C-alpha cells in the first residue's frame, strides 16, 4: 500500500489544478480524492509532492495539510490498510466528494470513448449545479442524501437545456431523463463501493420530479401495424431510393435480431456468425452477447447477399431433410410429381398456401404436417446461411465503415476505438439514420431512427409474454434498471392483455 499526491488540471481553467491524494495497492487504485485545495500548476512541485514557496498562495497551510495526511497514512498499522480493492473504508463520509468518485469510476469502469464523453458532460453538469446551488467546489454526500436533491438538479438541467431562466420551462424531457438515469447509476455504484456507510436511496429519482415540469416521454417504439408498413415499404426508382431501401432492410434486420445497437450493427463482422448464432462483444458495455440467427434475419440479409441465401436454400431441399413417415406419406399423397426431393423451402410454402386456399377438399391435417416441416426447413436454411456468411473472409457485413480502418480491431475482444474510428462510426451512424428519416417521412412517422428498432423489439418481446429478465438478456443490457427505463416509455395500455386474462379467471 502506498500514498502519493498529484495535481489534476481544472477543466475550466487549464492554468490551475486540484491537489489529489492517491492511494494504491500495488497497481490497483484504492482511493483518489481531493484534499480541498486548488493551486496554479506552475507552483506544484511534482518531485517533492508539495507546493512551492510563493506569496501568491497560502503554501504553508497547503503543505501542512499534505503532511498531516501523510502522517495519518503512515500511522496506520498493516491491518488498518487491509480493505477491499475499491473501497477505502477509513475515509469518513464527510471527506468523500461524490464528483471525485464519479470521475474515478468513469476511468475504471468505462473504456468506450463515446460513453466517457457523454458521462463526462453529465458529471460537469453536476459541478455547475453544485457551484450555482450551493456555491461549493465539491459535492458532499450529505447534500446527495437530500430527498429533493434530484428535483433541484432536474430543474437545473431544464434551465441548461432550454437556455432560459424559467425553472418551470419544459423541453425535450429525454435529456433530463437520461441525465437522471446516469446519476442514479453512479449513486448505485457508490453504494456498492462504500458499503460501510448508510445506503443512499435512489428509488424516488424517477418520481421525484413533479409531472408539471416533465412533458410526457414520447414513446420510441413502433406497434405491429407500423412494423408492417416498413415491411411493405416499396422501392421507388432512383439511386437515392435504392440506398433508402438498404436502410429499410437494415432496420428490420436490427429489429428481428434482438434489437442490436446501431454501433454493433455497423461493426458487425462476418466472423460474428457462428454455429447458427450471432456472437459478439457489445461495444457499449463490453459484455458477451449471443443471439439466435433466425430465418427472418437470414431472409432480410438476403437483400445484401442474395447468392449466399440461394445457396442456403439449395442446401436444404426436401431431399436433404430427414422426413418421418407421416411427412413422407403426406408429400406422396399431395404432390403429383414422382420426384419431390428437389423442392425448396419456398416451393413448399407455395404448396402449403395452395392447400389452404383449396375450395373443394379439406387439407387441414396435411397443412399442419407441412407447416411443421416448413418450420424445420426454415431453421436449417438459417443455420446454413449463418455458416456461409461466417465462412467469408473477415470484413463488415454492412458497408458503412471502411474495413481497412478497422481491420486491426479484435473481433471477440473489447472494442477500444481510436478517435478516427469513433469519428468514422459516428459518420456511419449518421448516414444510416438519414436513410431511416426518409423512410419515416414517406410513411408519416414522426421520427424513425436506428434506436427505435431496439425499443420496438423490447416492446413486442414484452407483449409476447417475455419476462423483463429475458428482455434485458436479449438486449444485452448491463442491468435490469436499463430495461425498466425502456418499459417506462411504453404505452400505458401495454398491460391490458394481462389484465384481461386476470379478469377472465373470475366469475362475477
What is the Cα–Cα distance from 128 to 147, expressed in whole angstroms? 20
Q: Which of 113-117, 401-405, 416-420 has the lowest mean pLDDT?
A: 113-117
Residue pLDDT, tens place only, 34-82: 887 888 888 888 888 888 888 888 888 888 888 888 888 887 755 444 4
Of residues 104 and 491, more confidence is placed in 104
Joined grid coordinates for residue 398:
454492412
pLDDT for the residue 296: 93
Specify whether the CB–CB gap between 383 and 366 falls below 8 A. no
Closest to 285 (Cα-Cα) out of 479, 29, 484, 485: 479
**DSSP letter string, 64-102:** HHHHHHHHHHHHS-TTTT---SS--TTS-GGG-BHHHHH
pLDDT for the residue 66: 87
Beta bridge partners of 273: 278
Res. 199: pLDDT tops 90: no
Res. 216: pLDDT tops 80: no
pTM for this predicted structure: 0.61
Joined grid coordinates for residue 231:
415491411
**DSSP letter string, 193-204:** HTTTSPPPP-TT
Q: What is the mean pLDDT of residues 148-167?
A: 73
- How many Cα atoms occupy the beta-carbon half-sphere of 210 within 13 Å? 9
Joined grid coordinates for residue 419:
478517435
Between the alpha carbon of residue 120 and those of residues 31, 107, 245, the distances in Å are 19, 10, 37
Beta bridge partners of 31: 23
Q: Just give the CATH number of 223-304+397-483.
A: 1.10.443.10
Residue pLDDT, tens place only, 473-487: 888 887 777 787 777
pLDDT band (50, 70, 90) for residue 164? very low
Say which DSSP state 351 is in: H
Backbone phi, psi, residue 436, to 5°? -70, -35
Joined grid coordinates for residue 432:
444510416
b/e burial code for range 383-419 (CB count within 10 A of at least 16 → b)? bbbbbbbbeeeeebbbebbeeeebeebeeeeebebee
Joined grid coordinates for residue 143:
447534500
Joined grid coordinates for residue 492:
400505458
DSSP three-state, residue 400? coil
**Do you know the residue count of the chain?**
508
Which secondary-structure segment (H or E) carries 28? strand 28-40
pLDDT for the residue 46: 87
| CA 29 to chain CA centroid, nearest Å | 27
Res. 84: pLDDT tops 50: no
Q: What is the mean pLDDT of residues 215-232?
A: 77
Closest to 284 (Cα-Cα) out of 306, 263, 254, 308: 263
The crossing angle, in degrees rounded to 10, of helices 149-162 and 173-193 is 140
What is the Cα–Cα distance from 285 to 302, expressed in whole angstroms? 30
Burial of residue 206 (CB within 10 Å: 0-12, 13-18, 19+) is: middle
Joined grid coordinates for residue 369:
404436417
Amino acid at each position: 500500500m502506498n500514498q502519493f499526491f498529484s495535481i489534476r488540471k481544472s477543466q475550466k481553467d487549464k492554468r490551475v489544478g486540484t491537489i489529489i491524494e492517491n492511494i494504491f495497492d500495488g497497481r490497483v487504485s484504492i482511493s483518489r480524492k481531493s484534499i480541498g485545495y486548488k493551486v496554479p500548476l506552475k507552483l506544484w512541485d511534482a518531485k517533492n509532492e508539495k507546493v512551492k514557496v510563493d506569496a501568491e498562495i497560502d503554501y504553508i497551510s497547503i503543505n501542512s495539510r499534505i503532511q498531516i495526511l501523510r502522517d495519518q497514512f503512515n500511522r496506520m498499522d498493516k491491518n488498518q490498510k487491509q480493505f477491499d480493492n475499491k473501497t477505502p473504508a477509513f475515509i469518513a463520509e464527510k471527506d468523500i466528494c461524490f464528483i471525485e468518485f464519479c470521475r474515478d469510476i468513469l476511468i475504471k469502469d468505462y473504456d468506450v470513448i463515446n460513453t466517457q464523453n457523454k458521462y463526462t458532460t453529465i458529471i460537469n453538469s453536476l459541478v455547475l449545479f453544485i457551484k450555482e446551488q450551493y456555491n461549493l467546489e465539491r459535492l458532499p454526500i450529505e447534500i446527495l442524501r437530500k430527498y429533493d436533491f434530484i428535483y433541484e438538479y432536474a430543474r437545473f438541467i431544464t434551465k441548461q437545456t432550454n437556455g432560459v431562466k424559467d425553472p418551470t420551462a419544459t423541453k425535450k424531457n429525454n435529456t433530463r431523463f437520461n441525465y437522471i438515469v446516469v446519476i442514479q447509476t453512479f449513486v448505485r455504484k457508490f453504494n456498492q463501493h462504500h458499503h460501510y456507510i448508510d445506503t443512499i436511496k435512489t428509488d424516488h429519482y424517477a418520481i421525484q420530479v413533479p409531472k408539471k415540469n416533465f412533458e410526457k416521454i414520447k414513446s420510441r417504439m413502433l406497434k405491429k401495424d407500423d412494423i408492417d408498413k416498413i415491411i411493405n415499404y416499396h422501392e421507388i426508382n432512383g439511386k437515392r431510393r435504392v440506398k433508402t431501401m438498404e436502410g429499410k432492410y437494415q432496420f428490420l434486420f436490427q429489429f428481428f435480431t434482438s434489437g442490436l445497437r446501431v454501433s454493433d450493427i455497423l461493426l458487425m463482422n462476418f466472423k460474428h456468425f457462428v454455429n447458427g448464432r450471432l456472437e459478439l462483444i457489445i461495444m457499449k458495455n463490453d459484455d458477451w452477447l449471443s443471439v439466435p440467427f433466425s430465418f427472418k434475419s437470414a431472409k432480410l440479409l438476403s437483400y445484401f447477399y442474395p447468392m449466399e441465401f440461394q445457396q442456403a436454400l439449395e442446401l436444404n431441399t426436401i431431399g436433404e431433410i430427414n422426413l418421418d413417415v407421416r411427412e413422407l406419406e403426406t408429400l406422396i399423397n399431395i404432390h403429383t410429381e414422382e420426384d419431390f426431393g428437389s423442392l425448396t423451402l419456398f416451393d413448399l410454402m407455395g404448396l402449403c398456401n395452395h392447400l389452404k386456399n383449396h375450395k373443394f377438399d379439406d387439407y387441414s391435417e396435411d397443412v399442419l404436417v407441412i407447416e411443421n416441416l416448413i418450420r424445420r426447413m426454415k431453421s436449417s436454411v438459417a443455420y446454413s446461411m449463418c455458416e456461409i456468411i461466417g465462412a467469408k473472409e473477415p470484413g463488415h457485413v454492412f458497408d458503412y465503415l471502411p474495413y481497412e480502418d478497422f481491420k486491426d480491431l479484435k473481433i471477440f475482444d473489447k472494442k477500444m476505438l481510436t478517435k478516427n474510428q469513433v469519428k468514422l462510426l459516428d459518420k456511419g451512424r449518421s448516414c444510416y439514420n438519414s436513410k431511416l428519416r426518409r423512410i419515416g417521412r414517406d410513411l408519416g412517422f414522426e421520427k424513425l431512427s436506428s434506436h427505435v428498432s431496439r425499443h420496438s423489439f423490447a416492446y413486442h418481446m414484452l407483449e409476447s409474454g417475455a419476462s423483463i429478465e429475458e428482455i434485458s438478456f436479449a438486449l444485452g443490457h448491463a442491468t435490469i434498471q436499463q430495461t425498466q427505463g425502456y418499459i417506462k416509455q411504453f404505452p400505458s395500455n401495454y398491460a391490458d392483455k394481462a389484465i384481461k386474462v386476470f379478469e377472465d379467471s373470475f366469475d362475477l
